[in-house]
């Protein structure tokens, strides 16, 4: 059974429209991240995508990692798509709470019970997976509820309930730009992610004060994750995914990698816009042997 699951996962990865490997212009950032993560214990996967230019950087970006609670972004998006089609409402009472209360508990405090209530209301993990596949978001697997995942024997290399970093940022891009959610639902999702209260020592930790971040964390024994969007000072948004498996100081390592991504995209953008605005005579002079 396990070999069959691994084979199916590999087929899914091969079929997905993967992001390009690190853009040539971002090789300095790729090298910096590689050096940084090589100095850490554990196994790291990173992907970052500039939503304005499409430029990417990736370290082990095609390797699958357990999603843990970062799967909750997909659950939220699948539910909001139902809201957009009039099949559900954020005002719906599910048990003793409204769908909006469950959504906010899931995304802000990473409430596992709230997540499973929404998953069951949607029809189970397979329904969320079908929604992802239908909208072309491949490379992510949703096989179990949170309760089932926590109850099963832990295997951080189990292909179930996993994603590659590149597939995760591709999903984030599609949710943000792919017309799979109406503007009101998209804004609601991002605004709720901006209020995330968990894992403040990860993506948010070392960024400049006041940097807007919309994120969702995930944690299992010996696994630490954080995914979402970082907004740069010029308004550009970077979709990011950080997965850390094994080793020590995983949260600190994610924080350092997030700061490297922030600085790397900032430096590249300054050099690129500077080249565009350089006088023609200077550009010609620089081109001489």
Q: What is the pLDDT of residues 235-281, one digit of tens each?
A: 999 999 999 999 999 999 999 999 999 999 998 655 545 443 444 44
Question: For 71-128, how does the pLDDT look when each residue is reduced to its tens digit (9 = 90+)?
Answer: 999 999 999 999 999 999 999 999 899 999 999 999 999 999 999 999 999 999 999 9
Per the CB < 8 A criterion, the answer to whether 195 and 214 are in contact is no
Predicted local confidence at residue 21, as pLDDT: 67
CATH of the domain at 132: 3.40.710.10
Encoded tokens for 78: 């699948």
pLDDT bucket at 26, cuts 50 / 70 / 90: confident
Number of domains in the chain: 1
Q: Is 285 inside a domain boundary?
A: no
Q: Which residue from 201, 210, 193 is spatially nearest to 258, judged by alpha carbons?
A: 201
Contacts of 52 (CB under 8 A, 6+ apart): 236, 237
Q: Is 130 inside a domain boundary?
A: yes
What percent of the chain has pLDDT above 90? Answer: 81
CA distances from 243 to 22, 32, 236 (A): 17, 17, 23
Q: Rounding to the nearest 10 degrees, give the CA dihedral for residues 122, 14, 6, 64.
A: -70
Identify each DSSP E strand in 5-154 by its residue range: 43-50, 56-59, 65-66, 93-94, 97-98
Q: Is 288 inside a domain boundary?
A: no
Q: Is 283 inside a domain boundary?
A: no
pTM over 0.85? The answer is: yes
What value does the mean pLDDT take over residues 169-190?
96
Q: Is 287 inside a domain boundary?
A: no
On the question of pLDDT at 185 being above 60, the answer is: yes
Q: Is 289 inside a domain boundary?
A: no
Per-residue DSSP letter, 46:
E
pLDDT bucket at 22, cuts 50 / 70 / 90: confident
Q: Is 281 inside a domain boundary?
A: no
Q: Is 286 inside a domain boundary?
A: no
Predicted local confidence at residue 270, as pLDDT: 56
Least confident of 23-32, 55-64, 182-191: 23-32
Strands 97-98 and 93-94: antiparallel
Least confident of 63-67, 150-154, 259-263, 271-275: 271-275
Question: What domain range is 217 assigned to?
Answer: 2-275
């Amino acid at each position: 059974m396990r070999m069959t699951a691994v084979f199916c996962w590999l087929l899914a990865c091969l079929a997905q429209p993967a992001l390009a490997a690190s853009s040539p212009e971002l090789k300095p950032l790729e090298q910096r991240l590689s050096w940084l993560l090589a100095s850490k214990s554990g196994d790291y996967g990173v992907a970052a995508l500039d939503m304005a230019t499409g430029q990417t950087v990736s370290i082990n970006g095609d390797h699958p990692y357990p999603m843990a609670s970062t799967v909750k972004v997909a659950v939220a998006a699948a539910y909001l798509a139902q809201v957009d089609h009039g099949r559900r409402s954020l005002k719906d009472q599910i048990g003793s709470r409204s769908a909006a209360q469950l959504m906010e508990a899931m995304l802000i405090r990473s409430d596992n019970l709230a997540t499973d209530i929404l998953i069951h209301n949607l029809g189970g993990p397979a329904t969320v997976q079908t929604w992802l596949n239908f909208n072309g978001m491949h490379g992510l697997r949703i096989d179990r509820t949170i309760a089932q995942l926590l109850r099963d024997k832990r295997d951080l290399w189990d292909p179930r309930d996993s994603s590659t970093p590149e597939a995760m940022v591709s999903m984030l891009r599609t949710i943000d730009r792919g017309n799979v959610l109406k503007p009101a639902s998209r804004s609601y999702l991002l605004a709720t992610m901006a209020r995330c209260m968990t894992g403040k020592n990860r993506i948010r930790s070392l960024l400049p004060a006041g940097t807007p971040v919309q994120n969702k964390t995930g944690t299992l024994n010996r696994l630490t994750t954080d995914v979402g969007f970082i907004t740069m000072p010029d308004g550009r948004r970077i979709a990011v995914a950080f997965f850390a498996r094994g080793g020590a100081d995983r949260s600190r390592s994610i924080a350092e990698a997030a700061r490297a991504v922030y600085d790397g995209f900032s430096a590249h953008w300054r050099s690129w816009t500077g080249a565009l605005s350089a006088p023609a005579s200077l550009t010609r002079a620089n081109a001489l042997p």
